[in-house]
Amino acid sequence: MLAHALAEQLRHRGVGVVAVSRSECDITHPDAVAALFETYRPTLLLNCAAHTGVDQCEDEPHRCNAINGEAVGTLGKQARRYDTRIVHFSTDFVFDGQSDRPYRPFDPPRPVSAYGASKLLGETILAQTAPPSWLIIRTAWLFGRHGACFPETILKFARAGRPLKVVNDQLGCPTYTTDLARATLNLIDVDAMGIQHVTNSSPTTWFDFANATLQEFGFSPSVLPVSTQEWLRMRPKQAKRPAYSVLDMSDYTATTGQTVRDWREALREYRDECTTEAEISPMAS
């Protein structure tokens, strides 16, 4: 999702983009990464590759550490060798969810899942290996076209007439890929470095996010709220998720002079784009 949005925004600016798929370069293979840099000698690398199967990561921690952690170090080493600016995307899952205020970029990370631990490993290794100009952007609850996401899942269940139960006691900020891509370029424009937090604004729950999605796409909201404890009783093998994962955006605003719009407004744009492209519709079979 994010790679498509970034490529689209860069092309709008007239920037030459090489979008490399996993089949073209598996970042867990150092030789493939070295060949990629030798071929393209990029001035900027945006790493959107990740193992994002949060529950699956619990069963295969070595694989998720290889992709989300060690491979990021491989990219960082090549970026240092070729003096390439590198931007890496991380997650709210590096935090434990016990805060009573939005998380700031330099709050101590305490992941509670294998996925979160692997993403923190990637952050740590990148800071040790990449050129000084590295940039890590933490985000959360990503949705957009060109990939599976929460609104798409909710709509599939609604179209199938299946009952919907959604957790109502986890708080965070949905993030539209187009807005994250624009914000990323805003940070690059001002030579931002270090760790930044970027999401859409206005915290919400997964339950309210689900209801809003149904409303925007013309369905009658019919979602039952459940607690995290109830959900885990139904699905005991699921990874633990932070109960509170709102990210503080004040550094982004101070650095760029920009803000990111409310997630509900972004959801409407997502709806319009999906409807126009006939990707998702209440009338779809």
Q: Is there a catalytic annotation at residue 244? A: no
Backbone phi, then psi, for 9, in 5-degree steps? Answer: -70, -40
How far apart are the C-alpha atoms of 147 and 55, rounded to whole Å?
18
Instruction: Report the SS3 class of residue 164.
Output: strand
Nearest to 241, CA basis, from 34, 50, 19, 91 = 91
Determine if residue 78 is left, alpha or beta; phi over 0 gives left, psi from -120 to 50 gives alpha, anything else beta.
alpha
Concatenated DSSP letters for 220-252? PP-EEEE-HHHHHHHSTTSPP--SB-PBP-HHH
Question: CA distances (Å), 58 to each of 87, 206, 250, 267, in order?
Answer: 26, 22, 33, 30
How far apart are the C-alpha atoms of 73 and 118, rounded to whole Å?
12
Torsion (CA) 119, 125, 126, 131 in degrees, nearest 10: 180
Q: Which of 82, 103, 115, 176 is catalytic?
A: 115
Tokens read off for 233: 């009783």
Q: What residues act catalytically? A: 115
